[in-house]
Structure 1
Amino acid sequence: MTSPSAAASSAATRSDAARNRGRLLDAAAGLIAERGSDVDVREIARRAEVGMGTLYRHFPTKEALLDAALEYVFTSWAASATAALTGRAWPDLSGFLADALTRQTASPGLLDAYCQALPGQAGNTARQHCRQQVGPLIADLVRAAHESGELRPDITAEDVSLLLVALGRIAPVVPEPAWRRILHVALDGLRTSAATPLPDAAQATPGH
C-alpha cells in the first residue's frame, strides 16, 4: 500500500510536471507568435524558466515541442474566436477577420504559421493543426453567411483564408485605422449585393 506521504509526493511531482509542460507550451507559443516556427529551444526553455533537461523530458525533440505548440496556438485561437461568435452570420464573419488581423498585427509569427497551413505550402504540422482547429471555424462562418444570403455564393472558405493572408501582410505595416479601412473595402467586395463574376481560378494562374 502506498503511504500518504508517498502519494502526496507523487501528486506534487505530477503537478510540477504539468505546470512545467504548460510553461513550455506557453513560452513556445509566444515565441512562435512573435517570430514564427524558427525558434531556438534554448530560448524557449529560458522563457519558460526551466532547464533543458526538463524540456527534453516533456518533448524529446524540437519537432515534438513545435508540433505541440502549434496545436496549442491554433486551438487557443479557434477557441477564442468561437467564444466571440454572436450567431449573426455577417457580423461573425467580419468580426473573425478583424480579430484575426488584430492578432496577426500583435504577433507577426502567427501569420507565418498560418501561411504554412495553406494548401501547397510546406509545413505539414501547421497545416494539420490549422485544418483541424481554425479550418472548420472558417468553413462554418462561410456556410452561415451563404445561408443568410449576405455572402456572395461563389466565395469559398479557401478564398477567405487567402484574403486573410493578404490583409495580414498589410496590417502590420500600416496604422490600425488604415488596415480596418481596407478590411471594410474587402468585406464590401464579399457581399452578395456587390457581386460581379469572378475569373476562373485556372485562368487567373500565371502561365494559363
Structure 2
Amino acid sequence: MSTERRPRADAERNRTRVLEAARELFADRGDEVQLPEIARAAGVGVGTVYRHFPDRRALVEAAAEARFAEIGQYARSRCLDGRSGLARYLRHVGKVLSEDRGLSAAIESARSAPGSEPRGDARSGLEAVVAQVIARDQEAGVLREDCTVADVYLLVGCLSAVIRTGSGDWRRFVDLALDGLRPRG
C-alpha cells in the first residue's frame, strides 16, 4: 500500500498556474525570468512556487517536460496515419521551437549545455511515438526503410540549432531533410 498522498485539488491548480506562468514568461523573456516574477504572474506567493519546484532548474525542467508531452500528444493524435506523419511531426516541432525560443534558451541554460532534448519519461514517450510514426510511414512507402528514431533526434537537434542561431529558414531545412528521407528506387 502506498503512503504517498494525492495532491489537493487547490495545490494541483496552483502548480498548473505556476507552470503556465513560467512557460509564458520564459517564452517572452527567456532565461532572465526569476521565480518571484513567476509567482506574481501566477497569482501565488513565492513559497508556493518553492513548494512545487525546489529551485529554478526544477521549474524549467517541468516546463520542458510539459512541452515534450504536448509534442508527444500531437504526434499520437496527428502523425500516425502513415501519410507523411514524420513530415508533420518535424514541421510541428519546428513551429514549437520557433515560437518558444525563450523556453529553449532557459532549458539550455538550466542544463548548462547545448541541447534541449527530452530526458527520462518524456524521452521514452517521445521515442515510442516517433518509432510508431516512422514504422507507419515506412509501411506506407513514404519513408526510407533505414530511418531510425536516432536519425529523427539528430534532425530535431539540427532543426533546433538552425532556429536557435537564426542560421537559415527552418522550414527549408525540414524540406531538405525530408527529401533525404524519401525512399529511393
Shorter-chain-normalised TM-score: which range?
Answer: 0.7 to 0.9
Pick which of 154-163 and 26-35 moved more.
26-35
Q: Which of 101, 105, 119 lines up with 1:108 in the alignment?
A: 101
Is the contact made by 2:64 and 2:107 (CA closer than 8 Å) also made in structure 1?
A: no
| 1:39-54 alignment runs, 5 A limit | 40-54=34-48
Change (3 A) 1:131 1:34: farther
Structure 1: stretches of 5+ with no match in the other structure: 1-13, 195-208
- Please tell me whether residue 166 in structure 1 is matched to residue 158 in structure 2: yes
2:89 paired residue among 87, 90, 96: 96
CA contact (8 A) 1:74 1:129 kept: no
Out of 134, 144, 166, the residue aligned to residue 142 of structure 1 is: 134
Quote the Cα distance in structure 2 between the aligned partners of 1:65 and 1:171.
Answer: 23
Q: Which digits, 9 at most, give the CA deviation of each residue in 1:47-102, with x for residues without a partner?
A: 222211221233334344344333222212211332223x4324211011111101
Q: Which amino acid aligns with 1:26?
A: E
Corresponding residue number in structure 1 for 2:51? 57
Q: CA deviation at 1:145?
A: 2.0
Counterpart for residue 183 of structure 2: 192
TM-score (norm 1): 0.67
Provide, for residues 26-48 of structure 1, a one-character-per-residue CA deviation record: whole Å limited to 9, x for no partner: 12333455666785322322322
Q: Distance between the aligned counterparts of 2:171 and 2:147, measured in 1? A: 21
Distance in structure 2 (CA, Å) of the matches to 1:113 and 1:192: 38
Q: Structure 2 CA distance, aligned partners of 1:111 and 1:63?
A: 13
Cα separation, partners in 2 of 1:114 and 1:48, compared to 1, 3 Å: closer
1:159, CA displacement in angstroms?
0.8
Residues 179/74 of structure 1: CA separation in 2 closer, same or farther (3 Å cut)? closer
What CA distance in whole angstroms lies between the structure 1 residues aligned with 2:117 and 2:96?
A: 21
How many residue pairs end up in the alignment? 174
Give the secondary-structure state (helix, strand or coil) at the position aligned to 2:142.
Answer: coil
TM-aligned CA distance change 1:64 to 1:115, over 3 Å? closer
Measured on the aligned residues, the alpha-carbon RMSD in Å equals 3.3
Looking at structure 2, the residues matched to 144 and 114 of structure 1 have their Cα atoms a distance apart, in angstroms, of: 31
The Cα of 1:123 is off from its aligned counterpart by 8.3
Mapping of residues 122-137 of structure 1, within 5 Å: 126-137=118-129
Change (3 A) 1:168 1:126: closer
CA distance in 2 between counterparts of 1:108 and 1:97 reads 16
What's the counterpart of residue 3 of structure 2? none
Gaps in structure 2 of 5+ consecutive residues: 1-7
CA 1:69–1:105 in 2, change beyond 3 Å: closer, same or farther?
A: closer
Aligned to 1:72: 66
Shift of residue 19, structure 1, vs aligned partner: 2.2
Residue in 2 that maps onto 1:182: 173
Code of the residue aligned with 2:48 in structure 1: it is T
8 Å CA contact 1:114, 1:126 repeated in 2: no
Q: TM-score, normalised by structure 2?
A: 0.73
